[in-house]
Structure 1
Amino acid sequence: MHPQVDEYFVKLKQWHDELQELRSLLLDTELVEEYKWRAPCYTLDGKNVVILASFKEACMISFFKGTLLKDPKGLLQKPGENTQAARVVRFSSVAEVLKQKSSIKKLIQEAIAVEKSGEKVAKTTEAEPVPEELHAAFQQHPALEKAFEALTPGRQRAYLMHFAAAKQSKTRTARIEACTERILDGKGLHDCTCGLSKRMPGCDGSHKSLA
């Protein structure tokens, strides 16, 4: 049991009992309890296997390589449209956790076996489409295209998804204009620009203290 996880549960105001039930299942395995990303995380030989999370609408147990797990009861869900590896099971009551307890234990054991096997999730290499508005911006501002191409693939993909998510062309153009300086500075969409973040290179909201 990790002291920071103990503290996490002391301060937890929502889904306390549900997550404690899930925690007890995880503590009954060979996984090591750690505290990462402000949440209880369970590892094997330093590799992330499972993490617990509390949100407004539900709590969940998330499997880092969930897409590799067998799921005969269809419990695992894709947390986001573009998520490749992780899969989650959501709960909104202790009764739900207890009802699926046996299945969750099997998923945890399978996740451990997958990690021991060294199997990796095959990530898609399909590139995100570049919006026409961004092509136009590149033509008008060659330095922007050069700076964009210098970004890591992950940062490029985040920007492309952000731009493409806008339904109207004028909104896509506005988003591109708003992000131009960040791109020219070599920053990703969620990178810190104020220099105050304690979670570099990501932004942790410290810039709000400047207001």
Structure 2
Amino acid sequence: MQKNKSVEEFIIKNKNWKEALEVLRSIALSTGLKETIKWGAPVYTINNKNVIGLGAFKSYVGIWFFQGVFLKDVSNALVNAQEGKTKGLRQWRFNSVKDIDKDLVLQYVQEAIQNQKDGKEIKPNKSKDVKFPLELSNALNSDSDFKQCFEQLAPFKQKEYVEYIATAKREATKLSRLEKIIPMINRGIGLNDKYR
């Protein structure tokens, strides 16, 4: 399997966990998963679906199973990083390279791959019911050019703007946010374009 240069850089940058990351990486690559970087960390995919990821922190190094909730977890090794928030993701933390049982980790990774092939996945719940804010609605109805610019934005960009206004608690905040976004919308710029 071809190694990703950005993953090499990630491992070099995390010198305290270099050996452990190399062991986990070798396990992932032995399975035929495709290696990439997402969210600044190594991620391994099959058919463009995330299966596992690697992470390094001060006190531990870990392997993430994106649909880990479906794993049998025979060793009771997996944890939910954010109980009550995280639905599918599970992680296995190691405090040293000696804690990594290669055969057992490989068994978990192979099961995760099979689960992905079988279509076992929890899809993120993206349907937050956000009420279209009155302030934005009034601005759109009072300026046809502004309305046309808004309607030309991709639906996800429209939704970002709607949520940006709707999530403000105070009326004054909603109006100041609206004032900020009008020029952006008129130029066809999405709220979060600078982060993409």
Q: Which moved more, 1:102-111 or 1:144-153?
A: 102-111
Q: Secondary structure of the residue that 1:113 maps to in structure 2? A: helix
Aligned equivalents of 1:170, 1:108: Cα separation in 2:
51
Aligned equivalents of 2:37, 2:81: Cα separation in 1:
24
Q: Does 1:75 align with 2:79?
A: yes
How far residue 171 of structure 1 moved from its aligned partner, in angstroms, is 1.2
Q: Where in structure 2 are there 5+ consecutive unaligned residues?
A: none
Greater relative contact order (Cα < 8 A, sep 6+): 2
How far residue 56 of structure 1 moved from its aligned partner, in angstroms, is 8.1
How far residue 185 of structure 1 moved from its aligned partner, in angstroms, is 2.2
Residues 150-191 of structure 1, C-alpha deviation per residue, up to 9 Å, x if partnerless? Answer: 322322222233223322221122112211122222222121
Residues 57-97 of structure 1, C-alpha deviation per residue, up to 9 Å, x if partnerless? Answer: 98764444x3873577672356997x8x8635385x616x9
Q: Look up the match of 2:180.
A: 178
8 Å contact from structure 2 (residues 11, 17) kept in 1: no
Q: Secondary structure of the residue that 1:49 maps to in structure 2? A: strand
TM-score scaled by length of structure 1: 0.62
Q: Which moved more, 1:10-19 or 1:132-141?
A: 10-19
Q: Secondary structure of the residue that 2:192 maps to in structure 1? A: coil
8 Å contact from structure 1 (residues 68, 114) kept in 2: no
For the pair shown, the structure with the greater C-alpha radius of gyration is 2
Aligned equivalents of 1:67, 1:146: Cα separation in 2:
44
8 Å contact from structure 1 (residues 144, 183) kept in 2: yes
User: Which residue type is aligned with residue 108 of structure 1?
Assistant: V
8 Å contact from structure 1 (residues 41, 48) kept in 2: yes
CA pair 70-48 structure 1, distance change in 2 beyond 3 A? closer
Give the total of aligned pairs: 190
TM-score scaled by length of structure 2: 0.66
